[in-house]
Amino acid sequence: MTRVVLSIGSNLGDRLARLQSVVDGLGDKVIAVSPVYETDPWGLVDQAPFLNAVLIADDPAFDGQAWLRRAQEFEEAAGRVRGERWGPRSLDVDLIACYGDTEIISVENHLTLPHPLAHLRAFVMIPWLAIDPDARLTIVGGPQPVARLLAELEPADRDSVQLIDQGLELESKN
CATH of the domain at 112: 3.30.70.560
- The yes-or-no verdict on residue 164 having pLDDT over 90 is yes
User: DSSP assignment, residue 120?
Assistant: G
Q: Please report the pLDDT score of residue 165 as a whole number.
A: 73
- 84 lies in some domain: yes
Domain of 142, in residue numbers: 2-163
Measured over the CA atoms of residue 64, residue 8, residue 89 and residue 45, the dihedral's sign is negative
169 falls in which pLDDT band (50, 70, 90)?
confident
Q: Please report the pLDDT score of residue 107 as a whole number.
A: 86
Considering its fold, how many domains does the chain have in total? 1
Nearest to 56 by CA among 91, 17, 95: 95
Q: Please report the pLDDT score of residue 167 as a whole number.
A: 78
174 falls in which pLDDT band (50, 70, 90)?
very low
- 173 lies in some domain: no
47 falls in which pLDDT band (50, 70, 90)?
confident
- Taking the alpha carbons at both ends of the chain, their separation in whole angstroms is 24
85 falls in which pLDDT band (50, 70, 90)?
low
- 168 lies in some domain: no
- 76 lies in some domain: yes
- 170 lies in some domain: no
Q: Residue ranges of the alpha helices (H) in 9-153?
A: 15-26, 64-77, 122-131, 146-151
- 118 lies in some domain: yes
User: DSSP assignment, residue 91?
Assistant: -
Identity of residue 169: E
- 169 lies in some domain: no
How far apart, in whole angstroms, are the C-alpha atoms of residue 41 and residue 46? 8
Q: Please report the pLDDT score of residue 150 as a whole number.
A: 96
Q: Are 36 and 164 in contact (CB under 8 A)?
A: yes
- The yes-or-no verdict on residue 20 having pLDDT over 90 is yes
Q: Residue ranges of the alpha helices (H) in the chain?
A: 15-26, 64-77, 122-131, 146-151, 155-159
Q: Please report the pLDDT score of residue 82 as a whole number.
A: 65
- 172 lies in some domain: no
In degrees rounded to 5, what are phi and psi of residue 84?
A: -70, 130
Q: Please report the pLDDT score of residue 6 as a whole number.
A: 97
- Would the pTM count as exceeding 0.75? yes
